[in-house]
Amino acid sequence: MESIFHEKQEGSLCAQHCLNNLLQGEYFSPVELSSIAHQLDEEERMRMAEGGVTSEDYRTFLQQPSGNMDDSGFFSIQVISNALKVWGLELILFNSPEYQRLRIDPINERSFICNYKEHWFTVRKLGKQWFNLNSLLTGPELISDTYLALFLAQLQQEGYSIFVVKGDLPDCEADQLLQMIRVQQMHRPKLIGEELAQLKEQRVHKTDLERVLEANDGSGMLDEDEEDLQRALALSRQEIDMEDEEADLRRAIQLSMQGSSRNISQDIPQTSGTNLTSEELRKRREAYFEKVRLRLQKYIQQQKQQKQQQQGDLSGQSSHPCERPTSSRALGSDLGDAMSEEDMLQAAVTMSLETVRSDLKTEGKK
């Protein structure tokens, strides 16, 4: 199909594309079609002037825009018809009574021009096969002989006006080549808009794929089930969001304990140069750990007070009419859980200190 001339849509120049696809070459430009349109406008103006240049109809005609062309590139059927007359071609309305009385089978014609509102396109026979040369398609569309009549009937049902092109079309390479061979079309051409949307989707998918590959250090090893990967990432984000102030409190206490243990050597009175008995050393160490326990108790109490104050502020905010109310039962449950966690932490600290005391007593006895 590479030999078939097919102009694709540019702006609103479908009339130009329709004519050139029909004649199989760049026969007409917007400038030439505009010249024909201006000529038709002048002929219409002269006819209107015959009734008097001072008449109301004439003044109204001058104020109206051209009916043969507009700034978007649209051209009327009169412009197309006059352009084809240059090549000795004539247009006949397909469903007119005069043509229908002839009872001509569509496959015995050579070409059709189809129009709906402001769009024009050509259906032409090249060699022994029919092709839809619509400029909105990405390429020529093969139409079988058996489907041609149904295709035209479907266009009429959709509101299209169909014109039969009468006369000898100029010779073209595609017609000569397809007289000797028949082509087959494995894939139907798409509308240009659909192709652009598909290409855009492919580019977006490619970008996402490259981003994933970069995140995997370019290894290219991707999870076979992408949906499972996305769900796992979502769950991971949820777990991160579910970290609350209790986790922060536990981490703070742990850091406090670690900091205290690292500074034991600094806080315990130095014994170098002093001869202490085992009993005196044990008592000094017990006094130090008692001080650590009291410090932790004070820290936990401060955290309780801060948490209660924050929950009181939140309770006051929930009374705003735009805020979602919080259940008092749920709030009480959260406080109970928070207290249990802190009590458990304090118990763990106490047990740890008792273990240290026990070890020191054992060491003292030895």
One-letter amino acid of 224 = E
Q: Of residues 14, 17, 20, 21, which has the active-site annotation?
A: 14
CB 27 within 8 A of CB 173: no
Calculate the alpha carbon distances from 218 to 221, 224, 332 in Å: 8, 16, 51
Q: What is the DSSP letter of 318?
A: T
Task: Take residue 329 and report the two structure tokens written for it.
Answer: 């039962």
134: annotated active-site residue:
yes
Tell me if residue 101 falls in helix, strand or coil: coil
**Closest Cα partner for 90 from 106, 108, 113, 107?**
113
**CA–CA separation, 99 vs 247, rounded Å?**
87
Q: Which structural domains are found in the chain, ordered by start?
A: 23-87 (1.10.287.10), 90-200 (3.90.70.40)
68, 115, 132, 134: the catalytic one is 134
Per residue of the chain (366 residues), give pLDDT as tens: 789 999 999 888 999 999 999 999 999 999 999 999 999 999 998 888 888 888 888 888 888 888 899 888 889 999 999 999 999 999 999 999 999 998 899 999 999 999 998 899 999 999 999 999 999 999 999 999 999 999 999 999 999 999 999 999 999 999 999 999 999 998 889 998 875 565 666 665 556 656 656 666 544 444 555 666 666 666 655 554 444 445 544 554 555 455 444 444 444 444 444 566 767 777 776 776 677 677 777 767 777 777 777 666 655 554 433 433 333 333 334 444 444 555 655 655 565 566 556 655 665 555
CA angle, residues 78, 84, 88, in degrees to nearest 5: 130
Mark whether 14 is an active-site residue: yes
Residue of 18, 20, 115, 119 marked active site? 119
CA distance 303 to 99: 96
CA dihedral 219, 224, 226, 227 (to 10 degrees): -160
On whether the CB atoms of residues 289 and 357 are closer than 8 A, the answer is yes
